[in-house]
Amino acid sequence: MSHRIRVGLCPLVALFAVACIEDEAAPGCPGDGVESGDFCVYRQGIQETGFRCPDHRPVRYAEGPNGWAPAAPEPPAGQPFVCGEAEAPPERVAAAFAAVGEPAADLGPDAGADLGAPDASVGPGACLQVAPAVLDFGAVAVGETAMLQAQVLNACDHVVRLTEEVLEPDTALSFMLGPELPLAPVEARGSVWLAVSFTPFDDTPVNGTWRIAAENGQVLRVALVGRGHTVAQTLFRLRINNDIPESIYAQIALDGARAPWVTVTHEGAEIWMGERCALQRCGQPDPVCALSGPMVRDVTEGDFQGEITFAWDGTMSEVDAVANCENILPAPPGAYVARFCYGFQADFASEDDAGQRDRAGTVANPQCHDVAFTLPDDEVVEYALEGG
């Protein structure tokens, strides 16, 4: 029992909205939301298990000493709730499914045994489609959370009802449902986004299935693949031991995802530490970090003058040349070489920022030095520049 999987329906631009329907013209939607049993679906808003919608106004229910009661204060009309962090009580999960005639998801080791083969009618040209059909998280550091998305495409003319079950056909995993899950059925004419977050608690691999059952009898299945890895953080440090009268410059990147002043090779090949901002994650629509232009830092200035550091979490980027995307994997243990580079001069893009510690530009005539280290044994790898 080693992982936390959270599943929600949301728009692309608002990952933490849990149930938003893309169809803006669906009928039968009085007020700001749609009443669905004891649950409320908000357009451009958030749905959470625990919401009720009397008179189409949201009232959040909280568990107290005397059972479930409306939480105070009630939010202003039209203002969406923000989902909390507490886990959904099992009785609320069961009640959510019982209200619509669906069994609560079976999370035991035999869950999914009777799932059968995927519905052959679900595919190109079918009423319902999902893309991508596999959510591959790659390697996620233990205790960290990664989120991936898929889109459920609904080309049907009639309303379909989507329900979900988290199944574990191949491994004994613990799918801990957040307060917004499981969702009550969502009736929609348009398409919805599926957002899945994964928090590994150990190195056990993920090999599971997420099922979307539609009212018209079709069944969509989304595979969940990934694994946790124990972070063997390595701290790289370029340090000046004594006073040096001149400036020393190091190439930096303000996005924080990498440190151009230090590169790492393994078995003669350079590895890319962390993720590449220029490539999207495989199966995801957009890059996950922002690019920055070349920057130069004066290591002899600032609060931490005399050193520059970079903490590496032990992951590396592997490029899928066919799909032109990247997967994030744990770097293999073994012998590595870190190359530290610096310079005594820099070519600056402008003089307008003269006197600042970080400036746009590049290091001129860099000098580089190699330091061997072993992953994961060496937690600190440094090169010390001796002054006069």
Q: Decide if pLDDT at 254 tops 50.
A: yes
- CATH for 3-229 (2.60.40.10, 3.40.50.1100, 3.30.450.20, 2.40.50.140): 2.60.40.10
Lowest-confidence region among 187-191, 220-224, 283-287, 361-365:
187-191
Q: What is the mean pLDDT of residues 189-198?
A: 61
Segment 292-317, tens digit of pLDDT: 678 899 888 655 568 899 999 888 88
Amino acid 58: pLDDT = 36
Q: Decide if pLDDT at 250 tops 80.
A: yes
Amino acid at 56: H
Domain assignments of the chain as residue spans, ordered by start: 3-229, 234-385
Q: How far apart are CA 388 and CA 384, in angstroms?
A: 13
The upper half-sphere exposure of residue 279, i.e. CA atoms within 13 Å in the direction of its Cβ, equals 19
Count of other CB atoms within 10 angstroms of residue 379: 11
Q: What is the mean pLDDT of residues 26-41?
A: 32
Q: How far apart are CA 250 and CA 238, in angstroms?
A: 9
The DSSP line for 245-286 is: SS--EEEE-TTSS--TTEEEEETTEEEEES--TTSPBTT-SS
Q: Decide if pLDDT at 16 tops 50.
A: no
Count of other CB atoms within 10 angstroms of residue 262: 26
Segment 113-158, tens digit of pLDDT: 232 333 333 444 456 666 777 777 777 877 777 777 666 666 655 4
Amino acid 209: pLDDT = 66
Amino acid at 79: Q
| 217's tokens | 């009898």
Give burial (CB, 10 Å; 0-12/13-18/19+) of 226.
Answer: buried
Banded model confidence at residue 340, pLDDT cuts 50, 70, 90: very high
Residue whose entry in the numeric block shows the structure tokens 């949201």 = 58
